[in-house]
Structure 1
């Protein structure tokens, strides 16, 4: 069986901090407002609070096409995950999903701006519970995949500067053998 991957990751890095520090208070204050703010701002929200070195920067995004309550639930769960798993670290991120798997979201926090910083790890890869069979025509699958990647890159890089979709691309496609293939790209 071939397993298509779903992203679900938590990353904790940076300096160790006291759980009662000003940074943690600033971060947690921002976390408390994220679910509502991300929905009001079209699924993407970036905010900062406090003064250096305890300034908290938080970025949050929900996959486009989300239902508002699912996005809010996902963001709330992701923020709680950071508060639990990365309580004593300055830099953290988590990709999560809501309980019903209807939306994925990213929450990232740091004491420095996160724009322009690439994070690919750590990632925990969960196999699809569907036990998806390998494609009978891998050449066609790769062509469909490459075309979808190109469409997603175009969507993320070609939106008007004033658009909330700038630097964000999401595509859904139906491959010959696999219905409902989703791809998300977000550049910060």
Structure 2
């Protein structure tokens, strides 16, 4: 009996690791609750609109290209939201990621007028200001490596050139294409 228990507890960490490895891409990478814009009161019109918009963004089964945008309400209660998924993510997985993001933001930023959540598969952002067609440039902290490695300047320059090209290509896409890829030879 004792050896059976030992065997069970010996392999338990391995099973937990295998199970958690399947969902690595749904681990929240970073989020920001923008406190500069202030907070709204619980049960307010803005709060109700935010909840509705976040539900609409992941419920839209008509969209199958990974880019969602929704607005609801009039100023000062208007909520604007954008959801975007990587170009290789299936629509069902995209909506699932956005649903998880919405729940995460509702929990972590319960009364923030603006917030953003980054996952590997998707990004979700909402705000009381206009965010459609407005480029978000303050993302450097979300993709930063915590410990600096000994990578030479040539690699960094090549990487920056590649990413700049991909950003430009993705930005040039219409409302249905916000994805870019490059074929390496």
Q: TM-score range by the shorter chain?
A: 0.5 to 0.7
2:131 to 87, 111, 114: 114
Counterpart of 2:84 in structure 1 is 61
User: What residue number does 1:11 align with?
Assistant: 32
Query: What does residue 102 of structure 2 align with?
Result: 79
Alignment match, 1:153 = 167
TM-score by length of 2: 0.68
Is 1:164 the counterpart of 2:185 in the alignment? Answer: no
Q: Which residue of 2 aligns with 1:185?
A: none
* Higher helix residue share: 2
Runs of at least 5 residues in structure 1 that lack an aligned partner in the other structure: 1-5, 98-103, 176-188
Equivalent residue number for residue 15 of structure 2 = none
- Paired positions, count: 154
How far off is 1:146 after superposition? 4.0
CA 1:62–1:134 in structure 2 vs 1: closer, same or farther (change >3 Å)?
same
The answer (yes or no) to whether the contact 1:39–1:72 under 8 Å persists in 2 is no
Segment drifting more, 31-40 vs 104-113 = 31-40
Q: Which structure carries more strand by proportion? A: 1
1:169 Cα deviation after fit:
3.6
Q: Which has the larger radius of gyration?
A: 2
Q: 1:90 aligns with which of 98, 101, 113?
A: 113
- Does the residue aligned with 2:60 lie in a helix, a strand or coil? helix
1:155 & 1:124 partners in 2: Cα distance? 21
Query: Equivalents in 2 of 1:77, 1:57: separation in Å?
Result: 18
Q: What do the CA deviations read for 1:79-109 (whole angstroms, capped 9, x no partner)?
A: 1111011111111111124xxxxxx211111
The two structures have a TM-score, normalised by structure 1, of 0.67
Moved more, 69-78 or 144-153: 144-153
Structure 2, unpaired ranges of 5+: 1-26
CA contact (8 A) 2:64 2:91 kept: no
